[in-house]
A and B are shown apart, each in its own frame.
Chain A
Amino acid sequence: MSPGTTTEPATRLDLPPRPRTWPRRTLVFSALTAFTVATCLPAIGGIEIDLAAIAQNWRHGAANLSALLQPNWSFVPRTIQPMLETLQMAFVGAAIAAALSVPLTLWAARPTNPNTVTRTAVRAVINVVRAVPDLVWATILVAMVGVGALPGLLTLVLFDVGIVVKLVSEAIDSTDHPYLEAARAGGATQGRMNRALALPQSLPLFSNQWLYALELNVRISAILGIVGAGGIGRLLDERFGFFAYGDVSVIILEILVVVLLIEAASNVLRRRLA
């Protein structure tokens, strides 16, 4: 076999010239590298990464770490009540958010709301809600309604609604809905066809995000306590303040177990609902 026959195909295909992508790729890559390097330059006020400080603090950190590795099991009973409060916040928050997300999502998606004015308005509000970080919401709400589970719950609802409405309305936007055209051709109102058809048709999209919101809630509500928004996070913050690392260790392990359990349960549910 001569080398000519292997490189030269028997029938030459009339292939259009391949678009040149490497100049653009190189440009993007070098721009990203330059940007990363620039942000670390102290001269222009970049992030200072002080390697010496890391080395110095290491001993300190190692001592704390060894304390964390010795959980104080006798502390467990005191964590039950706050943990239940956290779970309650997570579940109730996800449930309220699920109920609110249905009309908001249908208003925010084009196939289910052809009216540009109301659609844009709902989307704008949702984007603002999502732009504010959860800890900021929690701080504001604690200031408004006082310390406790209520501001935590409200934070979770806002956070979940933001996620579910954005993700599900975009998923609805990016799929075809020929059945809506048929219903419109038959003289149905938008509201009625949304409820009777678009909602059941999009339910898997919704249930996926509702479960995801629940998983996130357990994680987030563990942190929200730090700004006074109730649950296990407040206890975590308190024990940390007393340098009771054995207790902190118990709380962290508990959060880990609960998060994993919720995730396993929601995976099972997701498979059932699909």
Chain B
Amino acid sequence: MTHDTQAAEAGHAPASAAWPIRLDGVSVTYPNGTTALRDVSLDIDAGEMVSIVGLSGSGKSTLIRTINGLVPVTAGTVTVGPHTVSGLHGRRLREVRGHVGMIFQGFNLATRVDVYRNTLVGRFARAGRLRTLLGVTSARDREVALTALDTVGMLDKVWSRAAALSGGQQQRVAIARALSQEPSIMLADEPVASLDPPTAHAVMSELERINAERHLTVLVNLHLMDLARQYTRRMIGLRDGELVYDGPAAEATEADFEQIYGRRIRPQDRLGDRT
């Protein structure tokens, strides 16, 4: 019902409404005994674009992975939109994951598979039991995937193998794969850490645009302070698995970053200006 009215207001059918994210006293201890998150509580509104910053090993990846259940929480609850992720299994968990897109530092494409079929993976969660069993794609799946590729400017490479693309192009395909899920939340785990500065800015702009145009909730892990300041409005700082900063990104001072990092700012904490 609400979905229909929103669609009417927007003048076109929006893929889906953005979801809020809520972490309540979340702790994660890995099976080997490493505690990666300690009692983290967090409220992110639908449609916000938020960065998570922190040093290597501070728990950024762990935090972002609890949101789609890739990492199970040891304590606390994670809620996305109407669903409580913690405790979900099997079919129900896959359904929730279908609404949460994710982008990775290493792109995570099947390199021997063409761009088209890599992008279609984003449609798998929406297929019914029979389609899943037979492995067939619907006309709508194809249309959504191709539109997503067009959005990120990769339609001309649709029949290339992923291995034949540059890093920046691969990340664009990975974004298209996530977009074709028609997600309510977009997670990005260091999406630009493997890219050169101009490409990094291009990919960050892409995420910014997705947030603005599709009104998606975007949560992005970054370890570079200037990227967090430039592209996100709100910033969350992690140190040793604890939430040590939660506030506006643009106004975050050097002192704030030094507090998050637990050391002085170094040149390698900055990427450099967009060109």
A residues with a Cβ closer than 8 A to B are: 178-179, 181-189, 191-193, 195-198, 200-201, 203-204
Mark each residue of chain B from 104 to 143: 1 if its CB lies under 8 Å from any CB of chain A, else 0.
1011111111000110111011010000110100000000
Cβ distance A201 to chain B, nearest Cβ, rounded Å: 5
A178–B97 CB distance below 8 A: no
B52 in the interface (beta carbon within 8 A) = no
Interface centre among A187, A189, A193, A197 (most CB of B within 10 A): A187
What's the count of A-B pairs with C-beta under 8 Å? Answer: 89
A interface: dominant SS:
helix
Cβ distance A106 to chain B, nearest Cβ, rounded Å: 14
Q: Which residues of A contact B98 (CB under 8 A)?
A: 186-187
Cβ distance A273 to chain B, nearest Cβ, rounded Å: 11
A200–B104 CB distance below 8 A: no
Cβ distance A116 to chain B, nearest Cβ, rounded Å: 14
Contact check: which of B101, B106, B132, B135 meets A186 at CB < 8 Å?
Answer: B101
B108–A188 CB distance below 8 A: no
B85 in the interface (beta carbon within 8 A) = no
B94–A187 CB distance below 8 A: yes
B121–A181 CB distance below 8 A: no
Contact check: which of A178, A183, A200 meets B121 at CB < 8 Å?
Answer: A183
Cα A57 to Cα B121 in complex, Å, equals 69
Cα A203 to Cα B161 in complex, Å, equals 14
Cα A185 to Cα B125 in complex, Å, equals 10
Interface contacts beyond A178-B104, A192-B132: sample of 13 additional A-B pairs, CB < 8 Å, sorted by A: A179-B108, A179-B121, A182-B102, A185-B70, A186-B101, A186-B121, A187-B96, A187-B124, A188-B124, A189-B132, A196-B117, A201-B113, A203-B112
Q: Which residues of B contact A187 (CB under 8 A)?
A: 93-99, 124-125, 181
Cα A181 to Cα B65 in complex, Å, equals 11
A181–B108 CB distance below 8 A: yes
B111–A186 CB distance below 8 A: no
Which residue of A has the minimal Cβ distance to B135? A195
Q: Which residues of A contact B109 (CB under 8 A)?
A: 179, 182
Cα A181 to Cα B61 in complex, Å, equals 13
Q: Which residues of B contact A185 (CB under 8 A)?
A: 68, 70, 97, 100, 102
Cβ distance B90 to chain A, nearest Cβ, rounded Å: 9
Q: Which residues of B contact A188 (CB under 8 A)?
A: 94, 121, 124-125
A196–B121 CB distance below 8 A: yes
Which residue of B has the minimal Cβ distance to A194? B135
Q: Which residues of A contact B132 (CB under 8 A)?
A: 189, 191-192
Cα A34 to Cα B155 in complex, Å, equals 68
Q: Which residues of A contact B70 (CB under 8 A)?
A: 181, 184-185
Cβ distance B142 to chain A, nearest Cβ, rounded Å: 14
Cα A198 to Cα B118 in complex, Å, equals 11
B111–A201 CB distance below 8 A: yes
What are the 8 closest A-B residue pairs judged by CB atoms, nearest first?
A187-B125, A187-B98, A187-B97, A182-B108, A188-B124, A178-B108, A179-B110, A187-B94
Cα A181 to Cα B97 in complex, Å, equals 12
Cα A181 to Cα B118 in complex, Å, equals 13
Cα A202 to Cα B178 in complex, Å, equals 24
Given contacts A196-B120, A196-B121, A196-B135, A186 and B108 within 8 Å (CB-CB): no
Q: How many residues of B contact A (CB 8 A)?
A: 36
B21 in the interface (beta carbon within 8 A) = no
B residues with a Cβ closer than 8 A to A are: 68, 70, 93-102, 104, 106-113, 117-118, 120-122, 124-125, 127, 132-133, 135, 174, 177-178, 181
Q: Which residues of A contact B113 (CB under 8 A)?
A: 179, 196-197, 200-201
Q: Which residues of B contact A179 (CB under 8 A)?
A: 108-111, 113, 118, 121
Cα A185 to Cα B185 in complex, Å, equals 12
Cα A204 to Cα B163 in complex, Å, equals 15
B121–A182 CB distance below 8 A: yes
Cβ distance A233 to chain B, nearest Cβ, rounded Å: 39
Q: Which residues of A contact B102 (CB under 8 A)?
A: 182, 185-186
Cβ distance A180 to chain B, nearest Cβ, rounded Å: 8
Cβ distance A205 to chain B, nearest Cβ, rounded Å: 11
Cα A196 to Cα B132 in complex, Å, equals 11
> Can you list 16 A-B pairs, Cβ within 8 angstroms, ordered by A?
A178-B107, A179-B109, A183-B121, A184-B97, A185-B68, A185-B97, A186-B97, A186-B98, A186-B102, A186-B181, A189-B124, A191-B132, A191-B133, A195-B135, A196-B113, A203-B112
Q: Which residues of A contact B127 (CB under 8 A)?
A: 192
Given contacts A178-B106, A186-B101, A192 and B124 within 8 Å (CB-CB): yes
Cα A184 to Cα B97 in complex, Å, equals 8
Cα A196 to Cα B133 in complex, Å, equals 12
Cβ distance B31 to chain A, nearest Cβ, rounded Å: 14
Q: Which residues of B contact A204 (CB under 8 A)?
A: 112
Cα A178 to Cα B111 in complex, Å, equals 10
Q: Which residues of B contact A192 (CB under 8 A)?
A: 124, 127, 132, 135
Which residue of B has the minimal Cβ distance to A182? B108
Interface centre among A179, A196, A200 (most CB of B within 10 A): A179
Cα A182 to Cα B125 in complex, Å, equals 12
A182–B112 CB distance below 8 A: no
